[in-house]
Amino acid sequence: MTTIAVLIGSLRHDSYHAKLADHIQHTFPHVTWTRVSIGDVPFFNEDVEREGDPDAVQQLKAHIRTADGVLILTPEYNGSVPGVLKNALDWASRPANDSVFLHKRVGIIGATPGMMGTIVAQLHARHILEAMRASVVPHDALHISRVHELCERANDPDTFRYVDRYVTRFIDYVNEPLAANANEQSLKEE
């Protein structure tokens, strides 16, 4: 069974991203979705890292290491990714060039009550993950605007059809054989 670790960039109790994660979990029960808590991860500090990863970091890394892919659901804060998500990614990016994210297949979903669909935050997330040499879903993105209106119509099966389409493609990407992935192929040939 495919296992996907889920990171949510919002700690808010009524987070729309958590609601979207609930929908995804419910719609794709053939996947094992593992929600990884990032709210307990302390601020990254190389001195602390040198003494050993704190428990929350060990758990974060273990979930990502054992997962076939990682799905990130994140809001945009002031035109970028929330600090809590960047902090978790910084911990998980270590050791550099041999991290749990190396070649890991990653999907990104972002939603906002506003009109711009978290476009900039998603570009930043992709840039950060590429710096970590993760493999972000190529040629595909999901920008959700007016998310509060979608959540009001959550019982209509049509409401989340774009979410379902993106997640279907992401699961296919996670399950693609290694050699079929152009990024990884080019890295192997270096």
Residue 24 lies near ligand FMN (rule: CB under 6 A): no
SS3 call for 16: helix
Which one of 4, 5, 17, 160 is in contact with ligand FMN (CB under 6 A)?
17
Total number of residues binding ligand FMN (CB under 6 A)? 15
Distances (CA, A) of 54 to 61, 84, 188: 11, 16, 33
- Does the protein bind ligand FMN through residue 76 (CB under 6 A)? yes
Query: Would strands 69-73 and 135-136 be described as parallel, antiparallel, or unpaired?
Result: unpaired
15 lines the binding site for ligand FMN (CB under 6 A): yes
Task: Spell out the residues 6+ positions from residue 78 whose beta carbon is closer than 8 angstroms to its own.
Answer: none
Q: How far is the CB of 92 from ligand FMN (least distance, A)?
A: 20
Rounded to a whole number of angstroms, the minimum distance from the CB of residue 49 to ligand FMN is 27
> Does residue 10 interact with ligand FMN by CB under 6 A?
yes
CA dihedral (62, 182, 128, 65) in degrees, to 10, reads 0
Give the separation between CA 133 and CA 129, rounded to whole angstroms. Answer: 6
Minimum distance of ligand FMN from residue 81's CB (angstroms) = 10
126: phi then psi, degrees, rounded to nearest 5: -60, -40
Q: How far is the CB of 25 from ligand FMN (least distance, A)?
A: 15
153 binds ligand FMN (CB under 6 A): no
| Shorter beta-carbon distance to ligand FMN: residue 108 or 174 | 108
Q: Would you say 164 and 125 are in contact if contact means Cβ atoms under 8 Å apart? A: no
The mark string for 94-133 relative to ligand FMN (x by CB under 6 A, - otherwise) is ------------------xxx-x-x---------------
Are residues 2 and 174 in contact, defined by beta-carbon separation less than 8 angstroms?
yes
Question: Could you list the residues that contact ligand FMN (CB under 6 A)?
Answer: 10, 12, 15-17, 75-79, 112-114, 116, 118
